[in-house]
Amino acid sequence: MQVTQDLIQAQAERTERARSAILAGKFLVTRTSPQQWTVKNGDKLPYVVSLKPSQSDSVGNDWTCTCMDFQQRGPLILCKHIEGVRLLEAAQNQNPQLTEKENQMNDSNPSNEGSLDDRLSRILWELRQPLDMSRVKRRQAPGMGSVPYLEGYDVIDRANSIFGFTWSFDLVGEPVIVRWQKKVLIWNQQEKRKVPSLDGNGNVQVEEVGLVYITGKVTVDLDGKLYCHADLGRCVFTGDTPEVLDMALAGSATDCLKRCFRQMGEQFGNSLYDKEIAQNAGLEQNRSTGANSPTSSRSTRPVVSTPVPTLPVVRKYGDGVSVNGNASEQEAYDQFKEKTGKAPSSKDELRTWLTGQRSTTTPASVAA
Ligand SMILES: [Zn+2]
């Protein structure tokens, strides 16, 4: 619980600082390109805030800032400069939203490509398309054999490409963490069953286990009308280290997001809950690529797993540090792996690589 509260509080503090800075007129925010801003705070040199270009095949909402705070705590926590840009952008977007109805009536909104009907029909058409089975991954689930699932980054990617970034995911309330102690069981060859493990003094060994659950909702904006889908995400874990809890929290949030989207059907893996489809979905895929997939390591001893078929993949850097639940970081990690064929050795290596990737796709920074 401590970990999340710290995160939530750290984020809230930065958002609040940004809000007061804007209200006090201390932030000078200038847009230098469609996805880049400079934020000048008093006499200090301006910081550059960027949003990763929204290409059709990438995940959006990947903010960066050149300040020290973001280098140290981002992308999990967004610094006050990013929050400042976001607040101002949100404020600017208020007006079009208020006049949305008029625009719809006059059908004169110049920012829309094609008519509103076109957009809606395209979205509905895409949602009805059959699921591309090459997107399906499989993993071992205790007591269930192998089960199919979609990865979190893939669901986000798909949502961006279908809805064009006009969706959001919000947690509803605080995550709930339940912990208890469980006897450690080991396989006994003679008795052909699992028996409690004993320590040197003959005492039954116990281990700390837990369950995180989290409620959230996905909201999709279809031309001014908001559609909400809420669900519960959960993740079980073994151990009591901050890392384990961190992964479980991230895992339950990802699980929650995926379960919300699943209500929108086929494109978000709803059919994977059909028993017949579940038997074979993703099998071909796994035979060819499953050998060195990150999921294969969990079949021996899962440290963190959810009791549902939509489990987040375990991603680890070469130095043993786990990739956190931030969708952008996960996506970057997966891209790195896909392009270089190996996991990044550290978060720093991934950052450096990402910066290199960005500079090839974005125009040179205008800021000093
Ligand atoms: Zn910053």
Instruction: Read off the tokens for 336.
Output: 């790195």
* CA 350 – ligand 1 centroid, Å: 19
* CA 77 – ligand 1 centroid, Å: 10
For 129-180+212-245+253-314, give the CATH class: alpha beta
Q: Which of 305, 231, 306 is nearest to 261 (CA)?
A: 231
| pLDDT number for residue 218 | 95
* CA 17 – ligand 1 centroid, Å: 12
* CA 79 – ligand 1 centroid, Å: 5
CA torsion angle 307 276 272 161 (round to 10): 170
* CA 346 – ligand 1 centroid, Å: 22
Strands 167-171 and 206-222: antiparallel
* CA 70 – ligand 1 centroid, Å: 5
* CA 220 – ligand 1 centroid, Å: 28
Predicted structure pTM score? 0.47
* CA 8 – ligand 1 centroid, Å: 17
Residue 74 to residue 65: CA distance in whole angstroms: 8
Would you tell me the crossing angle of helices 242-262 and 2-23 to the nearest 10 degrees? 70
Alpha helices in the chain (DSSP H): 2-23, 68-73, 80-98, 100-106, 116-128, 152-163, 242-262, 275-280, 283-289, 327-340, 347-361
| pLDDT number for residue 6 | 82
pLDDT in tens, the chain (368 residues): 466 778 888 888 999 899 888 888 888 888 888 888 889 887 777 899 988 765 544 444 688 999 889 988 888 889 999 999 988 887 776 554 444 444 444 443 334 445 566 778 888 888 888 888 888 888 887 777 888 889 999 999 999 988 888 899 999 988 999 999 999 888 888 888 889 988 888 899 999 999 999 999 999 988 778 889 999 999 999 998 999 999 999 999 999 999 999 998 889 988 887 877 887 777 764 444 333 333 333 333 333 434 444 334 567 787 777 776 566 677 777 778 877 777 888 878 877 777 776 544 333 333 33
The enclosing H or E element of 229 equals strand 225-238
| pLDDT number for residue 332 | 78
Residue ranges per domain, the chain? 129-180+212-245+253-314
* CA 63 – ligand 1 centroid, Å: 10
